[in-house]
Structure 1
Amino acid sequence: MSRVAVAIIGAGPYGLSLAAHLSARKLESRIFGHPMRFWSDIAEAGGERYLKSFCFGTNLSTPAPGYSFADYNEPRGLETFEPCSIANFTEYGRWFQQHNVPWVEPVEVENVDRQGDGFVISLSDGERFVADRVVVATGLSGFAYVPPVLASLPPDLAVHTSGVKSFAAFTGRDVAVIGAGQSALEAAALLGEAGARPQLLVRESSVRWHDRSSLEPSLWERLRWPISGLGRGLKAKALTQFPGAMHRVPAKWRTQFVNDHLPAEGAWWLRPRVETRLPIHLGVAVVNAREVSGRVALELRFASDAGERRLVVDHVIAGSGYDIDVANLTFISEHLRCAIQRLGRAPKLNASFEASVSGLHFVGPSSAMSFGPLFRFVIGAEYSARVVSGCLSARAGLLAGHQWGYWRPARASPHSDLQRPHRIATLVG
C-alpha cells in the first residue's frame, strides 16, 4: 500500500485551512471530502439563511494573503460586516479551496484503523493506503442532537434543522419547531416564509435576541462591548486574543465554561421575521411524542400550570444543537474509538490537538471541550491550522533527520508557539 505523511478527513473550513498550511510547510498530505458540503446542504434547503458571525470573523486560513472572506466579498459588492449569507460563505469556501487546496479528493473515508506506527485508511472508491498521521476535521457532520423524546418518531415526521432538505416541502403543513437558538428561530422563519404553518416551542420563559452591532461604536461601547470575531463582549475578545489559553484551564472549569458560554439566542435580523409572524409557546417542555395516523401528537407541559396539553402537527423539527460524541465517528474503527480518552463524550486533546491515540488529531468543534468555545466556530481554524501544521512538520523533520543519520531542529514547536501572544490577522467566528 502507498503511504502519506498526513491524511485530513473533512474538507470544510478547518480541513481546508490545515491543508493550506501544511502545503506552505512543504509537508505531503491528502485531504478527503466534498468541499464545504455541510454548508452547501444548509444553503440549498432554501430561503434567506445567514451566518450569525461577522464577515471578518469567518475566514478560512492560509499563510498567503488575499483569501479572507472580505477579500472575496468586497470586489463582488457583497456584505463585508453582517449579515453574510450562508450560500455566499459556501461559494467563498469553494473559491478558497480552488486557489489554495485544489488537490481535495471528493471521496468518503469509510474506515480508519491502526497499523503499526501508522493508520490504514479505506476509501469509498476501494483504495486503501497508510498515513503516518490522521486529522479529523469533519466539523458538525454526524453530531446533530435530537432529543430522546423524539427518537421513536420516523425520520419523515421528525428531523433536525440540519437535516431539512427543502423548506418548501413543508408548504401547507403544520410544523412544530423545538428550540430557541439561531437554528430553531431561523427554521421557524423559513417555514413561515415557505407557506407552512410553524409553531415555536421554547423551554425558556423568553426568546433572547442580540442587538445589531454599530459600525461606529462609541468609546464606551468599544471598552465595554468590544467587537471580535467571536461576537461582542470582553469574554469574546479575550478568547479571540488568546486562542490557546483555555487549554491550560483545569478541565472541570473549562468544560463548564464551554457548556454555558453563548446561550441560545437569535440574530437581530431574524427578530422581525419571527415575532408577530407565528405562534411562540414559552415555558413549555415536550414530555412525549408519538405517531398518530401519520401525524405527530406531542404532549406538552407548561411551566405556568401543572397540567399537560396535546398538540398535533404534521412534522417536528428539532433545533436542539449538536452533541460532540466520539461514538458517532463510525468511520474510525471501534477499538480505536474505545482507545480515545474523553472529556464528556468529546475527545480529550493535548496542546497539539492530539488525542490519547498517538498520531490521531481532531480540529474544529470536536476540539472545543479541550480548547474552549472559540473552536465551535470557523474562527478557530487559523489557530488550529498553525499549531497542528507546526507540530506535524516538526515531527516529520525530526523523523527525516533520524532516517538520514542526523538531527534537524524543528521549524516550529507547538508548545513554544502556545507560550507567546498570537496574531489573529483576520479573526474567524
Structure 2
Amino acid sequence: MIFSRNSKFSIQNSVPLSADDVEFIYSSKDFHQQLLTLIKTAKQRIYLTALYLQDDEAGREILHAIFQAKQDNPSLDVCIFVDFHRAQRGLIGEKKSLGNRQLYLDLSEQYEHDINIYGVAVKQKEFLGVLHLKGFVFDNTLLFSGASINDVYLHVGDKYRCDRFHKFNSSALADSFVNYLNECFVDSALAPRINQDNVPTKKALKSTIKQLKGLLKRAQYKVSNPTATAKDMLVIPFAGLGARGNQLNSTARKVFKSAENKLVVFTPYFNFPKALAADLRRALKKGVQVTIVVGDKTANDFYVADPEKFSTIGIVPYIYETLLGRFIKRNQAYIDKGQLNLHLWKDGTNSFHLKGVVSDDKYHLITGSNLNPRAWSLDLENGLLIIDRDKTLIPQWHKELELILSNTQRVNSLSDIESIHDYPDKPRELLRKINLTQFDRILKRFL
C-alpha cells in the first residue's frame, strides 16, 4: 500500500491532474448545455451511466442527440447503462407500462445505426438495491454528477433539482470508468441490452444477478500506469457494493476522520449510517467545525405538497425531518457555540439532491452516494476522491459552496423545523403508526 507523505490516503491507484483539468459547473442549465456540447463533439466514445434516462422532454433531447451523433459517426462507441428495474416501470403512481424502455425501443427502430443501452440488475428487486453509479464519459472527458437524466435534473421547464457537477479532462480517468463498465457489464454479458425486443424476465435473470453481484463486490476502477507524478492534485476513483469491504464507504469514513479544522457534508436524505454518525460525533468532540447542508422537507423529491394527494411514499420527508430533529436535540450545545452549522436548503418548489464531503478544503469526495444506510449497504455506488494538496481548487469550491448556501437557512434550534404536532393529519397519523410498531427501525435501513 502506497501512502502520500502528507495525507492519510492511499495514492496507489491515483491519477495526477492539474487544476486546469478540473472544472466545477454551477447550475443544472449549464450541466444540460455541457451534455449537449460533449455529445456533439465526441469522436471516439460516449459512455453514460445513470439510475435512469427518463422518457420526458430532457431525456428525449439527450437520447436523440446521442443517436444523431451515432448517425453522423457510425464508428462512435456508444454505451448507456441504466438500472434494469427502473427502466421498465412507470413513475410511482402511474399505471403499468414498459416505462422508459419504450422510448429506447422506439428510437432504436427509428435510427439506422443503433446504440447499446444496457439494463443493470444489481438485485432481484428494486427496493433491495439499484445501479446508482454515476459518470458520463465523452472521449477523454469525464462529467460526474449525482444527477440522472430528466426534466428537473436538466432544468427543462420551471423546476430544477439542485445537484453538483464536476468535469475532469483526463484520458486515464475516462479509461478507468470505461474499462470498469466494459468489464462488469459488457464483456461479462451480465447486463442485457434493453433497447431490443428480447429481454430476459426478472425470474430468468436470477442466476445472472447472483454472478453480477459477486463480480461487483470484487471489481474496482483500475488506473493504467498509476503514478504519483507531482501535479496539483491526485484523483482516485472508487466503487462499492454492500456493507462489507466497501472501498467507497471506507474512503468516506477516512475523509470524515481526516478533518482537523473544517468538514462540509452534503446529503439530501438526513439518515447517516451508524459508522458515519460516530465519525461525525468524534469530529465534533475534537473541535472540528462541521457544516451539514441538507434539503428542507419540502425540497425532498418524495414530498407531496397537496394533503389530498398524500400517499404512503410521501411519508419519507417527514421521517428524515424527524431524524434531523433528534440530531439537533443531541447536538444543541455544538450549534449554540457555532461549531456545528446545520443549513436547510430551500428554493421555492425546487428540489435538493446534493451529495459529497469536503475536509479542510483539501480532500473532496465527489460522489452520487446519499451517505445513508441504503447507499451504504444496498446500492451500487461510486465516487472520486480528490487530494488537493495545495488547495488549488479553493476558488471554484468556495464559489460552489457560496452559491449553495445562498438558498439555505441556518438551523439554530428545534423550533426552526416542524415536528409531528405541526404535520397535516395524514402524515402525522402514519408517522405515529410507524413509531408505535417500531417499523421505523427497519424502514431506516432502506432510506
Fold-level similarity (TM above 0.5)? no
Given the two structures, how large is their TM-score scaled by the length of structure 2?
0.31
Determine which structure has greater relative contact order: mean sequence separation of CA pairs < 8 Å that are 6+ residues apart, divided by chain length. 1
State the structure with more CA Rg: 1
Given the two structures, how large is their TM-score scaled by the length of structure 1?
0.32
Task: Report the structure, 1 or 2, having the larger helix content.
Answer: 2
